[in-house]
Structure 1
């Protein structure tokens, strides 16, 4: 197998290539101190992500609470409407019964008068 770089031929450069490769590898693997602001940036990013997560969580709960409240208001309105219609129906029925009692009394009074008149005529 030949591991030469493209464009390079010949065996004379091989030890030099290995040395250059080792030097590049050492440079790449060399331990370097972290930039002074790295920890601050990482903590800031972590804090932003946590804040965003908490805000999303709060927004979800707020939406849920608003939905429950909206359902409650709609159900309460529907229930109030049903109760109001029932009350109006009962009131109308009461008025009809009152009108029927008045009519019944008037008819009974008229029947008594007619019977009394028929007795006077006989």
Structure 2
């Protein structure tokens, strides 16, 4: 394939660079184009990975995390229900609710702990 470079300044710089490197100018331009294409392909692949992470993988992980904590919350509540001491059952239930809320809504308020 024949590629014509019309910018005279660029041609001048390419010839000078090829001379400094001790290679033919066509070889230099071919190497530069190959590098540019490799970089473009790598950039496209990284964008696809970024899209998959942001739009598919992270939401799936977050959903699974919320589901795990919701199940743990329900199990803790069932455990609290079978306790004979209502105060202890209420304390466990409230704690499970706080954990579930932190995970589901990202609330990290520790006002009760202060």
Q: Looking at both structures, which has the greater relative contact order when contacts are Cα pairs under 8 Å and sequence separation is at least 6?
A: 2
**Which structure has the greater CA radius of gyration?**
1
